[in-house]
Structure 1
Amino acid sequence: MSSSSTPPSYAAVLRTRYARRTFGAALLGRLSYGMISLSLVLAVKEATDSYAVAGTVMALFALTSVFLSPTRAGLVDRYGPRRALLPMAVAYSLLLTALAFATSWSGASGVLLGILALPAGACTPPLGPVMRTVWSDLLPDRRMVQRAYSLDAVAEELLFVVGPLLVGLLVQVSAASVGLGVSAALVLIGTVTMVSSPAVRSWVGRKEAEEAVEGKGATEATAGKEASGGDSGASRRRLLLADPGLRQAIVVSATVGICLGAFELLVIAFADAHHEPAAVAWILAALCGGSAAGGLIYGAVSWRASSRLRLAFVAGALGLTLAAAGLSPHPYVLIAWAALGGLFIAPAITTAYLIADECSTPATRTQAGAWVNTSFNAGSAGATAAVGLLVGRLPLAVCFALAAIPVVSSAATVLRRPRRAVADSDATLESAQEQARDTARRVSVSK
């Protein structure tokens, strides 16, 4: 832990006890997520010889994976990683293995593949939200948490670049279905290694805490249930989403996803319009490179401004920059704009996760981060579909501007935070956190 006068470094974050082991295991498992989309589409297309079936199977997988993410994270919060995360990883790996086997034969049934893809997506282990919760537990210094979250965001960005490249290499030497098998192995090995880390083994879920407290008497059991948000999952979600800061982080995250999902499709249309299809790879690489650089720079700075103000600035800057990119006279000019806009992507996502962490109690921290992640993915998917309807009907520059409007608008709304709502939210959060700490102390004594 660094002193208060010395800004902590990324090296200090990784030198924290158990950090490298846990983070490395999480990245290994999350590499599967960088590979799965392309692997699944290629494998289903090869088995059925139909892009329509491949797209449908991928959509079924993605829908359950994205929209059930907060539910899966809530299970981890309630039961802990050993009881919830590990079974998810086993089920996910088995279903991916079944998909790999089913797609290894030509003429596979599209219905069967859809039936397998639907629960596979539903069982996707929330390794990213869990790792961010672990960072918060390992690093009580908020400056180090900021650096850890930035490092996490940059690493995740790189995984989604490396993953498709690995799939491309696998396809060159073997069948596309092998990519599904490798994805299954990666997530299982990564999750098992992560759960076996002492940083994760010590994680006590709400249910376990309640059981431990109940063993010491009815009065303490009641207090334990209050600290965990009560018995009702619906009431916990309402409490979780009642905080205006968390709601704003979720909304901004969704609009950032909208902006980026639209941008990727618009880049392809822009390059085609200028007869430079090869520029697409360079533009998207510049976007990812800018995001990585921006994330590392952002995490290394000790900011004086609040998380809310930082989120408004980086989200607004991202939207305005990518809107201006639509005015580029040539795709290779768009590369420079993409690199500039990329500087704000990882900082925006990192800040949204930081706000989610600050606005949640220890009993709901993983689920709060999952809501931010889900909103981003949902926004990206929705924007891709919507922009596909606009391209060809409106000038591309107008499409770029329209894609930027949601994120710029959401950045503006972040600055208008009701004072009374903030006070009420902070009071509720402080009370819940104090109750959770009391529960943790009672559990520790009972053990």
Structure 2
Amino acid sequence: MYAAVLRTPYALRTFGAALLGRLSYGTVSLSLMLAVKAATGSYAVAGTVMAVFGAASVLLSPLRAKFIDRYGPRRALTPMALAYAVLLAVLAAVIWRPGVPGWLLVVLALLAGAATPPLGPTMRTVWSQLLPDRRLLQRAYSIDGVAEELLFVSGPLLVGVLVLFAPAAFGVAMSAGLVAVGTLVFVASPVVGAVAPAARQHRQRAKVVGRIKRPVIVTLGVGIALGAADLLVLAFVEDSGRADAAAWVLAALSAGSAVGGLVNGTVDWRLPARTRLTLLAFGLAAALGAAALAPGLLALAGAAACVGLFVAPALTTAYLIADDAVDPGLRTQAGAWVNTAVNAGSSGGTAGVGLLVGHLPLPVCFAAAAVAPLVAGLVTMVRRRVPKPVPVTASSPSGV
């Protein structure tokens, strides 16, 4: 089933290059945090640097995607990726040894985050061009989502091995190399070069966000739930006296997401994508609510796996809806908005539930986290009702 996707001309080569570049996103965060802490000796500085880097990367993603759509991947993505790689290399150089001022690291992190190349949204635009068959495109998005999930799991593991033999700053430098090489190979693909700039295709400036409210709302709810779940798992295992078990519980969530994504890609759905997205939001809320009843670590791991089952299918379906809602030349922006929603939601969910933990019992916190995808699903069910015109009769003169 998935072989048909990867056998498409240029698909495997292009996808492999994109994954190589995106591996940088799985390695850079942990490397940068460890390196800044080692260079400054301050968790406060490390936290500030990471917050600035993450905020610039996430919040400016739609703007960078707009440049991709307007000028094409080769003209826009290449300078972005090279600027990002250079800034990461500079960061690696200045934090290689202790003594660097914190303000300099914050400035460099802000610039690097602002230049983060949107490889994921661009690859999904390429998938849309490669696979006009919507069933194959659904499979492509599913395998793309699962692969991205694995990158964010394997990236920190790779950094954990590297720091045994080299300074954490080496991981930052490695991240720079990964994104530079991956992007250059990616844009060299003929199918990437065939993605025409939107400026040449469309004279109308469509309002992207207005057309993709449904997937953005749901993925925001999914992101809030995921961010909250990560922190709640840590709190749960600490209360159980088994802090080392956090990695296994979160791995169960990732495994569930991978399984759900692969299964979703193989099903020839008859339900409309918008209906599926709403049901997936409800399923995620129910699974997260069930985690509130977990009596121990084993049950929590099972509940986490069930939560994961809905994550990748929800994101895949959201990307498909966003693709269909906009003109072809605006797909990168549409995908970036969905991506921004889930990432911003994750940060907000972590911060929000952090205010609750310690003040409320953990089961109540799990139930509170389930509210976000539940409300998101309910919101998507609301349809604006256009009032029917009142018929004009003899007793109802026109103009009244």
TM-score (norm 1): 0.85
Report the Cα distance in structure 2 between the residues aligned to 1:370 and 1:330, rounded to whole angstroms.
Answer: 38
Amino acid at match of 2:134: R
Amino acid at match of 2:162: L
Counterparts of 1:39-438 in structure 2, within 5 Å, are: 39-207=31-199, 209=200, 227-230=202-205, 236=206, 239-243=207-211, 246-418=212-384
Report the Cα distance in structure 2 between the residues aligned to 1:228 and 1:176, rounded to whole angstroms.
Answer: 48
1:281 CA displacement: 1.2
Residue aligned with 2:328, SS: coil
Amino acid at match of 1:81: P
1:275 CA displacement: 1.2
1:417 CA displacement: 3.1
Amino acid at match of 1:176: A
Report the Cα distance in structure 1 between the residues aligned to 2:330 and 2:48, rounded to whole angstroms.
Answer: 33
Unaligned runs of 5+ in 2: 388-400
Residue aligned with 1:173, SS: coil
| Residues matched between the structures, number | 387
Amino acid at match of 2:204: G
Percent identity, aligned pairs only?
57
CA contact (8 A) 1:149 1:350 kept: yes
Residue aligned with 2:158, SS: helix
Report the Cα distance in structure 2 between the residues aligned to 1:261 and 1:75, rounded to whole angstroms.
Answer: 29
Q: What's the CA shift string for 1:118-157, capped at 9, x where partnerless?
A: 0100000000000000000000000000000000000000
Report the Cα distance in structure 2 between the residues aligned to 1:118 and 1:420, rounded to whole angstroms.
Answer: 45
Report the Cα distance in structure 2 between the residues aligned to 1:410 and 1:385, rounded to whole angstroms.
Answer: 19
CA contact (8 A) 1:279 1:332 kept: no
Q: What's the CA shift string for 1:330-380, capped at 9, x where partnerless?
A: 122101111111111100111111111010101211000000000100000
Report the Cα distance in structure 2 between the residues aligned to 1:417 and 1:97, rounded to whole angstroms.
Answer: 49
CA contact (8 A) 1:228 1:363 kept: no
Amino acid at match of 2:153: V
Residue aligned with 1:278, SS: helix
1:278 CA displacement: 2.0
CA contact (8 A) 1:96 1:181 kept: yes
Report the Cα distance in structure 2 between the residues aligned to 1:253 and 1:149, rounded to whole angstroms.
Answer: 15
Residue aligned with 1:179, SS: helix
Q: Provide closer, same or farther for how the CA distance between residues 17 and 229 of structure 1 changes in structure 2, counting only shifts above 3 A.
A: same
CA contact (8 A) 2:53 2:112 kept: yes
Residue aligned with 2:65, SS: helix
1:108 CA displacement: 1.1
Amino acid at match of 1:185: G
1:298 CA displacement: 0.4
Q: Provide closer, same or farther for how the CA distance between residues 322 and 90 of structure 1 changes in structure 2, counting only shifts above 3 A.
A: same
CA contact (8 A) 1:308 1:415 kept: no
Report the Cα distance in structure 1 between the residues aligned to 2:210 and 2:78, rounded to whole angstroms.
Answer: 30
Amino acid at match of 1:415: M
Compute the RMSD of aligned alpha carbons.
Answer: 1.2
1:413 CA displacement: 2.2
Residue aligned with 1:343, SS: helix
Report the Cα distance in structure 1 between the residues aligned to 2:285 and 2:140, rounded to whole angstroms.
Answer: 25
Whether 1:19 aligns to 2:11 is yes
CA contact (8 A) 1:77 1:364 kept: yes
Residue aligned with 2:195, SS: coil
Q: Provide closer, same or farther for how the CA distance between residues 201 and 376 of structure 1 changes in structure 2, counting only shifts above 3 A.
A: same
TM-score (norm 2): 0.95
Amino acid at match of 1:283: V
Report the Cα distance in structure 2 between the residues aligned to 1:417 and 1:294, rounded to whole angstroms.
Answer: 29
CA contact (8 A) 2:198 2:330 kept: no
